[in-house]
A and B are shown apart, each in its own frame.
Chain A
Amino acid sequence: MTSQQNKNIWFVTGASKGLGLTLVQHLLARGYAVAATSRNLTELQQNVPPSEGRFLPLHMDLGNEASVREAIEQTVKTFGRLDVVVNNAGYGQVGALEELSDEEAHRNFDVNVFGLLHVLRHATPHLRQQGAGRVFNISSVGGFMGDFPGWGIYCATKFAVAGLTESYAAEVREFGVQASVVYPGYFRTDFLTAGSLGTPRQPLAAYQAVRDSQQQHEQQINGNQPGDPEKAAAVLRELSEAPEQPVHVFLGEDAYQMADYKIAAVQQQMQQWKHLAAATNLSVEA
């Protein structure tokens, strides 16, 4: 058996740009076989050169369950199995809760949550049958800490990913499948550039804090993010080959700081309000 046959087969969504693209390039350069999906097949093929039959670029529409199922079936048909699933596709949505319409909120959940669930629903049968598999659901540090003005819907989608991944990890552990939720901090991708980031169609003038936050992200943070996507790719590859991957993976010094801050803040609030939390049990009956 050649060493290549021992290497994991990867399935990466949202692979035509950002972290997804860097990960696919990183893996192909190291001899892995990768199925990579995008709504934009041409862009994907342009950005990733052909790699001796190890690269399977797939058109996939995350909003369409049949399309997701087909992409996964094609991957299994082509490479014979599926070892590592990376749910990376997703986009940022800015806007106060009051500004964003039902439709705008739904669209963000369609991609970031329901699309990811489509992938899990159709990949999990293969992973279970193999009795092995690794799953990385890319959330965000905004999936752990939500007090960013103007990012309520986005954070809600990413908290949802974190919540479901925790339970999913517990569901599939006995089948030999490991799952992690990944919380990157700010990484230098095009996540914050116009065209990638969703902005409210009907902004309300009253929400100055939201406009300030949006402007700060688009003009100051964008391009200056401390996170190196290449290093994030290396971490995911290493974790996929570690005997045990942690359920929660924070990426970036900023993500570490924010997680630390959030945990301490919640613990402090819990203590401060313990008298209310602990006052609601039924009296013990004799």
Chain B
Amino acid sequence: MSNSKIWFVTGASQGLGLALVQHLLQAGHRVAATSRHPAALVELLGPASKAFLPLHMDLSSEVSVQEAIEQTINTFGRLDVVVNNAGYGIGGSVEELTDAETRQSFEVNVFGVLRVIRHALPHMRAAHAGHIINISSIAALAGTAGWSVYSATKAAVSAMSEGLAQDVASFGIRVTAVEPGGFRTNFLTPESLVFAAQPLAAYQTVRDTHARYLALNGSQAGDPAKAAVAIEQLAAEPTPPVHLLLGQDAFRRATQQLQGRLQETETWKTVTVSTDFAQ
């Protein structure tokens, strides 16, 4: 099948990653899927087959990432699409979250993505083809109270996707940051979400925001199966975008945010342009 691609999907044992792998396998693609819990991959997606390679991978270990990618190449011969999907939400004010809590989220959401990119790129450059899809979040564009560190990790992912897209364009490699809104996954459940271990009573607004988000769990408008279709379609595009929002809520929030930003930029233009040296 000419449209069949080799995919590498991280964080595939749950959520968007799981929905994506299920869809891709059904659609006739070959998929290497990684998780810290490979038994869960087999349980949910079936045993390894000609089309499916379940892999244990620890994103925080560069060696583990390198091995997973090499095994994918050894098995399928190449790597067409990498989906950096693994990541988790972290809630808490800047003041409440400790250095260790903050770093842990960056270790997975940012440095883990960088490790995959670092080891996938030599293969893609050699093939002069490939598409790196980084799952960011609408939070990268629009920060809200109580999610500062999460926003920071996702803004970092969107930023490096922009730079990377330029770095590797001449090698025939495409890069897209996907920025989803709320999807009906287990993202907002206590098993997935991490909160500041030492909350401060003063931050009631942050607690209220978190309660509002948790109450949304189970009623998010986004359908993970449709996100999977959209991502497959994205990878089939000859000229994919650098940013792709997913979900009407994401589209709405991004529109509002950009309009607000444009307005703020104009309001403060006189200050902004006042700082250059006299010509």
**A residues apposed to B, CB below 8 Å:** 65, 96-98, 102, 105-106, 109, 113-114, 117-118, 120-121, 124-125, 128, 142-143, 145-153, 155-168, 170-172, 174-175, 184, 187-188, 206-210, 226-228, 231-232, 235, 238-239, 246-253, 255-256, 259-260, 263, 266-267, 269-270, 272-274, 276-283
Contact = CB atoms under 8 A, between A and B. Distances in A.
Interface in B222-269: 222-223, 226-227, 229-230, 233-234, 241-248, 250-251, 254-255, 258, 261-262, 264-265, 267-269
A114 B152 CA distance: 11
Interface residues of B, number: 92
B149 interface: yes
B146 to A, nearest CB: 7
A164 to B, nearest CB: 4
Given A97-B160, A146-B163, A250-B265, A167 B143 contact: yes
A42 to B, nearest CB: 28
A55 to B, nearest CB: 24
B121 A128 contact: no
A146 B272 contact: no
Interface string B100-114: 001100100011001
A256 B273 CA distance: 7
Contacts of B153: 160, 163
B148 to A, nearest CB: 3
A251 B277 CA distance: 12
A-B interface, 8 closest residue pairs, ranked by CB to CB distance from nearest = A146-B162, A166-B143, A163-B155, A152-B163, A167-B148, A159-B159, A170-B145, A163-B151
B192 interface: no
Contacts of B98: 121
Nearest to A272: B241
Interface stretch (B21-29, B47-55, B198-206): B198-206
Contacts of A171: 93-95, 145-146, 148, 203, 205-206
A213 B271 CA distance: 29
Contacts of A256: 265, 269, 272-273
Contacts of A282: 184, 221-223, 226
Given A146-B161, A159-B156, 8 more contacts: A65-B99, A97-B118, A97-B167, A147-B166, A171-B145, A228-B277, A276-B234, A282-B223
A170 B277 contact: no
A270 B245 CA distance: 7
B250 A155 contact: no
Contacts of A175: 202
Contacts of A158: 159
B3 interface: no
B203 A280 contact: no
Given A170-B144, A246-B264, A256-B273, A280 B226 contact: yes
B70 interface: no
Which of A65, A159, A239 gathers the greatest number of chain B CB atoms within 10 Å?
Answer: A159
Given A98-B121, A171-B93, A269-B241, A281 B248 contact: yes
A121 B222 contact: no
Nearest to A250: B272
Contact of B111 (A106, A188, A206): A106
A277 B247 contact: yes
A97 B121 CA distance: 9
A86 to B, nearest CB: 15
Contact of A209 (B140, B166, B221): B166
25 contacts: A65-B99, A97-B114, A97-B121, A97-B163, A109-B111, A143-B159, A148-B166, A152-B159, A152-B162, A161-B152, A163-B140, A163-B148, A163-B154, A163-B155, A167-B146, A171-B95, A174-B205, A235-B275, A249-B268, A266-B254, A270-B254, A276-B244, A277-B245, A280-B222, A281-B248
A153 B113 CA distance: 12
B37 interface: no
Contacts of B152: 113, 159-161, 163-164, 167
B204 to A, nearest CB: 8
Contacts of B99: 65, 114, 117-118, 121
A115 to B, nearest CB: 10
Residue among A106, A146, A249, A283 with the highest chain B CB neighbour number at 10 A: A146
A129 to B, nearest CB: 10
A153 B148 contact: no
Contacts of B170: 208-209
B147 A253 contact: no
B115 interface: yes
B165 interface: yes
